[in-house]
Amino acid sequence: MTEVLLAGLCTLDILQFVEKYPADNEKVTALAQTVAAGGPATNAAATVTHLGGSAVLLTAVGRHPLAAGIHADLAERKVRLVDLTPADAGAPSVSSIVVSAGTGNRAVVSTNGAARTLGVPDLSPFLGGIQAVQVDGHYPALATAVLSEARRRGIPTLIDAGSWKPVTPELLPLLDVVVCSADFRPPGVTTEHQIARFLEGHGVRWIAISRGADPLLRWTGDGFVEQAVPCTTVVDTLGAGDVLHGALTLGVARRWPLTAATFADTLDEAAEVATRSCASFGTRDWMSGQGRQGRL
């Protein structure tokens, strides 16, 4: 079985599916709700196991009663959770998410990882047999340590580059594959071509830009090649980028070392999985095949 390691944020996501967003001082009744572990690295780990891989998740959860929901969800998904803050009594990061039934768009309020710090452990026990690693940058010291040790061992390295973070410049020289979102903007860089050249200049070999339902842009070194994204009826886009990166990381692990052809194939497969996840509410129903109607 292909094994990957993911390091980053773990939240408790509380999702409400509504006809429309409430106005100030307005109460609305949700059409459906769900609770699951969330965060970029966490959703990516759940995607890896759903697709038949093995996932180790390095993160911070703690021993607050709310952490039980995180443990239960990840145990059901067969993700190996390594909690680096097991004695922390504080509440885990909680994301409150409202999804609009009309558009599939969402509003999110969360502390992310800002309220919690963690130490970096000896990584040797976790990297044996690992075939790819992915970080999301929410715990900078952990991300740097994981990528550095993976690079030393010759393990391919990836990042969920959803947005530019202060630690990103330190991480780029340690990365083999960067698939960034359209919101990823290095300081002073404005065009997609400039982004690719910027990443190339920091030593990244495999580069692409995801743009939601628009075609992926795969960098060839001379320019971009468009790769179409499958169409679907969108119910909820929450976590689609996380799913994309989970599927991508597993695909890279299975195909490493990459060629232009296998990188293109991996992007196509990851896009198909991410699109499938948008056809149902929440970040887990698509894995069970229940779809939107399974919970309403």
Q: Which two tokens stand for residue 6?
A: 């993911």
Q: 240-255 and 260-277 are packed helices; what angle lies between their axes, rounded to 10 degrees?
A: 150
Domain chopping of the chain, boundaries: 3-294
Which pLDDT score is estimated for 147?
Answer: 98
Domain 3-294: CATH architecture, name and number where available: 3-Layer(aba) Sandwich (3.40)
Strands 32-38 and 11-18, how do they pair?
A: antiparallel
Do 263 and 206 meet the contact criterion of CB atoms below 8 Å apart?
A: yes
pLDDT digits (tens, 9 = 90+) for 71-88: 999 999 999 999 999 999
pLDDT digits (tens, 9 = 90+) for 36-71: 999 999 999 999 999 999 999 999 999 999 999 999
pLDDT higher than threshold 90 for residue 292: no
Do 6 and 132 meet the contact criterion of CB atoms below 8 Å apart?
A: no
Three-state SS at 157:
strand
pLDDT higher than threshold 70 for residue 144: yes
What separation, in Å, do the N-terminal and C-terminal C-alpha atoms of the chain show? 35
Using the structure block, give the residue that is written with the tokens 């340690």.
174
pLDDT digits (tens, 9 = 90+) for 115-134: 677 889 999 999 999 999 99
CA distance 247 to 251: 6
pLDDT higher than threshold 60 for residue 219: yes
pLDDT digits (tens, 9 = 90+) for 181-209: 999 999 999 999 999 999 999 999 999 99
